[in-house]
Structure 1
Amino acid sequence: MSDQTFYADGLAGLAAGARAELASDEAGHLRAARIRPGRRLEVIDGAGLRWEAELVTLDRRGASCRLLAPRPPVPALPLHLWAPVANRDRSLWLVEKVVELGAATITWIEWERSRSVADAGRAEGFLRRAAGRARAALKQSGRGWLPRLEGPVKPEEAFGRHEGEGWLADAEGRQRLGDVIAHGSEGAGAGRPLTVAVGPEGGLTGPERRRCLEAGFRLVSLSSATLRFETAAVVVVAAAAALLANDDNETDEERST
């Protein structure tokens, strides 16, 4: 089978042998990759479905494939990232990395110290660019779930929708991230959502930090060094994804015994 992965529209409810239309922008990618009708490829819909397929048509109007066999789905992680409104290019890089790690949502928060950032992801079209980066990262990583992208939103709006457990990556955190991983995370796992939050350059203000604590977030220290927001986000998302995946595997083992 080809290791090339492409998006197909409307996979839900289809069976082997059915035809599926590839997303409108995939025709150009197929031509660039020199893939012709008759080649095997993998198609995904960003909502968990993955199929082995055969390219049937490719022309100026688009491309279509025939579904051959479903492939094992990649479980979705109940993992959510609150990223600060920050430098646009660094934010787009962050999207790629956390999509590879399995984040279910990425929400950009307008923290107090985000307001002074000039080149930030507030401009019209930022979410569209971020969605493009997310799709490319999803295809590269082999995951099956495209994250929901939201923002920018005010902190109180995000707190109002928050549920489950929360970690705040913060220099004042008393608990080291390694200790959280070593001992597990109270309340995480078993399908419960886990939100990880990262502040802007300079960190959260005192009132913002207290509001996180009131909402049930635990302050987690990542390093004695001062990390950029995107580095901190990748570190904490990777740790949370590993913990949630381990919890999910343990649950499956319990069900099988």
Structure 2
Amino acid sequence: MRRFIVRPEAIEGGRVRFDRDEARHLGRVLRLRPGALVEAADGAGRTFTVCLEALGAREAWGRIVGERAPAAESPCAITLGQAILKGERMAWLIQKATELGVARIVPVETERVVARAAGERAAARQARWARIAREAVKQCGRPVVPVVEAPRPFAEVAAEARRHDAAWLLWEGGGTSLAAAARQAGRACRLLLLVGPEGGFTAGEVALGERHGARVVGLGPRILRAESAGLVAVALCQHLFGDLGADPLTPPSGEMGRSS
């Protein structure tokens, strides 16, 4: 059954309204007709079975005929503070981070960020990033669309460190291993991951992050591309604390990484 993401306000009175883009996809691309069944998720956790009633050029309507039990989100709520990357790398990273189950994505402006935008261009870029996250949710079957915030300065995002169970700043210049940091974090339910741009964080930014309570961690002996580093960290955290590849687990102290 085809799955669509609609805004919560589009669900009212037992019916669902599909916007122009979705209506075009329903009618012109999929060539569905009234009576066809589709799924509509509100991006906040609820998924409905909808019987299409009317398909037009600007919108489509359907009647709710069932509701599926909500799928669980990861028990580990990860905020990915990713320095803005050049070209299509940022869009690709947002798509993949959404598939991996991050709860929130914060594009970060750091000293070495090259891809800066302002005004209408910034607004258009932000709208596109949010749309990419929504499309990724549609594809991967998540019940909730992650928040994709507007870009913020590094200092603002780093200042959130102590609001989380753990905050880790990825840096190739040193720090403890992620495995060691995870052992010491115990049961971390709210994580902040800070990832630099193509040129990495400056020493001053690393020091600022540490002052706010972020811990500097590394991912091993090889230097990863910025878009790879963030996704590797997210995947490891989802495996250790979340729902990737296994049931959520809380290993006894010292058990994690025993084979290394």
TM exceeding 0.5: yes
Match of 1:43 in 2: 40
Distance 1:85 1:155, change over 3 A: same
Unaligned 5+ residue runs, structure 1?
A: 252-257
Alignment partner, residue 152 of structure 2: 153
Partners of 2:10 and 2:240 in 1: CA distance:
30
The aligned counterpart of 1:72 is 69
* Corresponding residue number in structure 1 for 2:193: 196
* 3-state secondary structure, aligned to 1:112: coil
- Could you list the runs of 5+ residues in structure 2 that have no partner in the other structure? 251-260
CA distance in 2, matches of 1:205, 1:84: 12
User: Cα 1:179–1:156, aligned 2, differ >3 Å: closer, same or farther?
Assistant: closer
In structure 2, the partner of 1:24 is 20
Letter in 1 for 2:26: L
1:186 equivalent in alignment to 2:183:
no
Matches within 5 A, 1:26-175: 26-31=22-27, 32-77=29-74, 78-114=77-113, 117=114, 119-120=115-116, 123-124=121-122, 125-162=124-161, 163-164=163-164, 165-175=166-176
Residue deviations 1:144-178 (CA, integer Å, cap 9, x gap): 11122223211222233441121112113433234
Identity, in percent, stands at: 33
Look up the SS of the partner of 2:95 in the other structure. Answer: helix
CA contact (8 A) 2:8 2:43 kept: no
Q: Secondary structure at the match of 1:166?
A: strand
Please tell me the residue identity of whatever aligns with 1:50.
T
Give the partner amino acid of 2:58: R
Aligned to 2:253: none
- Whether the 8 Å contact between 1:87 and 1:121 is mirrored in structure 2 is no
- Secondary structure in structure 2 of the residue aligned to 1:210: helix
Q: State the secondary structure of the residue aligned to 2:20.
A: coil
- In angstroms, what is the RMSD of aligned CA positions? 2.6
Is the CA contact 2:3–2:38 (under 8 Å) kept in the aligned structure 1?
A: yes
Give me the whole-angstrom Cα distance separating, in 1, the residues matched to 2:247 and 2:126.
Answer: 30
CA–CA separation in structure 2 for the residues paired with 1:160 and 1:177: 21
One-letter code aligned to 1:142: G
SS where residue 159 of structure 2 aligns? Answer: helix
Code of the residue aligned with 1:166 in structure 2: it is A
Partner of 1:237: 234
Q: 1:23 to 1:48 in 2, by over 3 A?
A: farther
Q: CA deviation at 1:53?
A: 2.2
Q: Secondary structure at the match of 1:106?
A: strand
- The Cα shift of 1:248 comes to 8.4
Instruction: Give me the whole-angstrom Cα distance separating, in 2, the residues matched to 1:249 and 1:187.
Output: 10
